[in-house]
Chains A and B, each alone.
Chain A
C-alpha cells in the first residue's frame, strides 16, 4: 500500500507544486525517488512527530496542501493534541498518512500496533478518516483527499496487500465487492482480503452466500446507507483490525441503535484482547485476538445456527 501511495502522490505533485510531503524519519527504500525528483516538495523533520504536525499546520495555514507520514501510532496517538489543536480545530488541509494499520508491524510489539487510531481520531470534529482496503482504494483515497479539503487521516496497511477490486473505484462509504443473499460482511481497511476468504469459506464449506463490501470512508458516514442494509439483509457482520471502541463496529452500532426496524442481527468482529505482549506474524496476532479467518468463520456459523 505504501508504494502505491507514494506513486499516486508523485503523480499529483507533478502537476501541483503546492503539495508538500513530510515524513518523520521514515521511508527508507520507498521515498528516495520522490526526494530526488521533488526536493522542494519534500521535508523530513527527523524523529519529531509533534513538530511534524505543528509545521504542517503552519504550511497549510498559508495555503499549502500537506501530507505527513509516519508509522500509524506515531502519526496519530503520539501527536494527538497537535492534531486536535493545530489541525482539526483550524480545519486545515493536512493529510495524515499512517503506515501499518492494526497489526501490520506485528513483530514490533504493542508500541507499533495501531489498534485505537481510528477511535481517537473519530472523536475530532472536521477530521475525515479513510481506511483503504487494497492498493486500488489507496489510489482512490489519495485522489479523494486531494480533491476535498480539511484534515484527513489515511490508514494504510504495510506492503504487498493484493488488489481485490478488478478495476479503478470511486471512494464511497460502502463499495460492493460481491453479492449474496444470506447476509452481508462489511470490512474496513486491511481486513478486506480476509473478508474475501471468509466469504469463500462460508460458501464452499458451509453453503452460505454472503455479500461482501468494503468501507474505506469511515468518517463522514452516510447513515442511511447502513439503515437501508438492515432491511435488505438478515445478518450483518463487520470486520476491522481495530478495537471495538471507536472503530467500525462501534460506528455501525451507533447507527443501528437509531433504527426502528429490528428484524436483523448485527455482530462486529474487532480486536478482542488486552495489550499484546508476544510477537509473531500478523496472522498469528489476528488469531490471538479473535479476528482470524477461522475464528470469525466459526463464530458466524454458530450465529447462523
Chain B
C-alpha cells in the first residue's frame, strides 16, 4: 500500500538530519488541523487503511547520542499521539512496521513484536547512533514483545513506558519509571464514546438501508425500531456500559435494546402481541451489536467472550426467529 498523496499536508516529515547512521528524516511535535482531520476521518472509518507512516527512524527536535528512543507503530494516529506528547523532548522515534495497525492491536497479533523490533533496531543502525542501549516502548506493546529476548538478541534493554503518551514527561521525571496509574488502561466515558462512530458505521451500513426499505414498504414503525436497535447497540452500549445490567455485553446490549423499544412504544400503535413480537426481533439485534463492542473494549478476555457467545448467539437467533414467526403467524390467520 502506498503512502497516500496527501501526505505532505501532515506533519509527518519536516526535514532531514545528518547523523553517523546517515540521513534521518525529522518530524515535529506540532499537531496541525490536517492531522486532526485525519484522526477524525480514521475514527469514522474513512480511508482508515491509508494512514500509514513509513517505518524506520525519525528525529524529533535535535536529538543526540544520549537522547531517548521511543518506539511506536506505523499507524498515523499512534505516531501522532506519540510525537505531539514529546514537545520539548529531543528524541528518536522508531516506527515499527505494523501494517498501519495501532500498537495494541498489532501487539495482540504479534506484528508489533519481538522480531520486528529486533529487525528494526538492526536495520536502522540505532547502535551506531547512540551511546546508550535502551529503548522505550509503549506498555501496550508488551503483549507482542518479550523484553528479555530483545535484550538477548540486540543488547538493547526495553523499558515499558506509560499506557498514555501524555504521561511521558512525568514518566521521564520519575527516572523512566511508571506509576500504577500510568500502567492502568482506562475505559472511561470519553474512551468509549469515541469508539461509537466506528460501531455505528459498521452496522449502520446494513441496518440503515434495511430500515429505508422497511419505510418504503410502509412499515414505518419497523423502520424506526431498526434504527433504534442500531442506536442502542452502537451508541447506548458504549455510552452507558457501566450502568447497563450484568457483566455480559450481550446482556447489556439487550437491556439497551429493550429501553429503546420501550421508549418508542408509546409512539407506535401496537397491541401487546405486536409489541412482544417486535421486542423479540429488535432486542437481539441490539444485543448482537452490543456483543460486538467486546472487540473495542479494553477489558474483555477471549475466554469470557467465547463463554458468552456460546449462550448469546443461540439465544439471539431463537428470539429473532420466534418474533418473526409470531408476525408471520398473525398474517396467516
Q: Do A and B come from one complex?
A: no
The residues of B with any CB-CB pair to A shorter than 8 Å are none
The residues of A with any CB-CB pair to B shorter than 8 Å are none
